[in-house]
Structure 1
Amino acid sequence: MEYILAADIGGTKLATALFKVDGTLVVANEIKSEKNDGEKLLQSLIDSFKDICSNAGIAIADVIGISVGLPGIIDVEKGIAILQNNLPWRDFPLKDRLATEFPNMPIVVDNDVYMATWGEYKAREFTKEMFVYMTLSTGISSCSIHNSTFLRGAGMAGEMGFNLTDKPGITLESLVSGPAMEERGRRVFDNPTLTLKEMMEGYYQGDEQVLPIINEAVTTLAKAVYHIIVAADPHCIVLGGGVFNHHPKLVEAVRQEVASYLTHPLLQGKEQRIEASRYKGEAGIRGAASRF
């Protein structure tokens, strides 16, 4: 049996997993991410890979590839972590450094949203389709695949958090990301510890102070999705990331709002292409594993 080592590295947690080549999860591990020391972060990744293999009784020689997803800007060809706002790596040669510990091992390093997108694409057994994955979490981003190929543009395709909103000079991410909604709620309720989870509970109950915040987010996100539909006409748009994954009613709310915009006969019904994530929080690591 052959195996794949996969990792999903974020600013809060470092998740690693061992998969069989058929996609079966063998063992997984999760630890806190090192935020200050790049060398310590690398060593914790290496140690975690070795530990899960040891715990599963699998020899490194039986691993046919390593795949790592992480946020920020990546030189995919060279496997360099160029810039990560929430990790202590700058122009860090991650692929080369991993290769010194795991010689002669194919290694893939890519952006975490691209990894999650690939996971959702493969989960639907797509091969030729135009597909877009949009993540709503601490930040907002997206990724597109067509004919099983990432559409990377000049290197930063999909950074839709920079999209402008109806409010002059205000970006999508600064208005409706998880932290942005939470911050607005804290001001409205004059409660510095209010969480988005608590706000969503109020939303479900029809709280009149929460409704305008979430409704504005739904409208703003729906307009972004509408623009994707008009520009790319994808076969499927998946709404994922922590906020959508934990609050599937938001996915339905965005879908319904998008439907209200699709009045032209050529566009009607395309809201049915909007789906929730299948892998939820595992999309990134499963996508990483399926790169081989």
Structure 2
Amino acid sequence: MVEDFASLAARIAADARFGRVAARLCDDVLSFYATTPGAMRLLGDQGQMRVLVICYHLHPDIRLAAVQKLTPAEVASPNRVAAALKLLTGQQALLPGEGTDRRARPLRLSPGGQALAEAFLMMMVGAGAPFAGARLSRDHCRAYASDYLLATLAGGGGIRAGPVAERTQTLKGGALLSLELMRRGLDPDDPTPFSRKGFAARFGMSRAQVIALLAALEEAGWATLADGRLQPTPLAMEGGRVWLSRFLAISATVLDGRFGEVVAASRARRAAERMAAQARTTSAG
């Protein structure tokens, strides 16, 4: 029987390797953003990440309406999608395609834009390698960009991280601070004090942005900061394990070519649960 994502993620979270693999994922993503030119500017929040992945999926025929259609409203509004495309074009990550009418011409990724998207996708998909049997290749970037996008649009696949994590990720740098929080929770012996100024400088943010993100995490009950020690709460560690284990499950199934069948199994389980709940309600009435 094919596992659904909830079962697969739970099995990964219970694996003895999970803590080490999850901590490395956090480190790798943070290092990518700190050292890759343009990453923070062009991929700084969940909406921007989504737009670049969609552009990679649509390349070389990228059109505003198509990108907006593939972007859920809770991730980015149509106006934010338009702004993200304008920024990518301004930074020459996107270039005009062929055609005589400039207004009707599609966009395409520049070599630099394509390299940035592939570096981001290779990092994301490669995270699941310890739990997969296949070796990472560029073909997996295409699979992730297409299958994952379509699965999140249809819904019911059990691949969403959760409301708190998603809310934070819609803010500039929110995903990075969440990962820093998880990294410290997975490595509680790390003696390095947290510095708002240092975090802001590392990722090209303002100190005010970092303070606002910390306030959002503290308000959600995910973080505490005292005497320079940024620590996740038990609620954050529980939610973070779900978030990271589901992410690793997605990466592993993309690598193994099983993503579609696991999404189908997740939807079937959700449908069965809904039918059972309706039957209970009917019999109780």
Structure having the higher helix fraction is: 2
Q: TM-score, normalised by structure 2?
A: 0.30
Q: TM-score, normalised by structure 1?
A: 0.29
Q: Which has the bigger relative contact order, CA under 8 A and spacing at least 6?
A: 2
Structure having the higher strand fraction is: 1
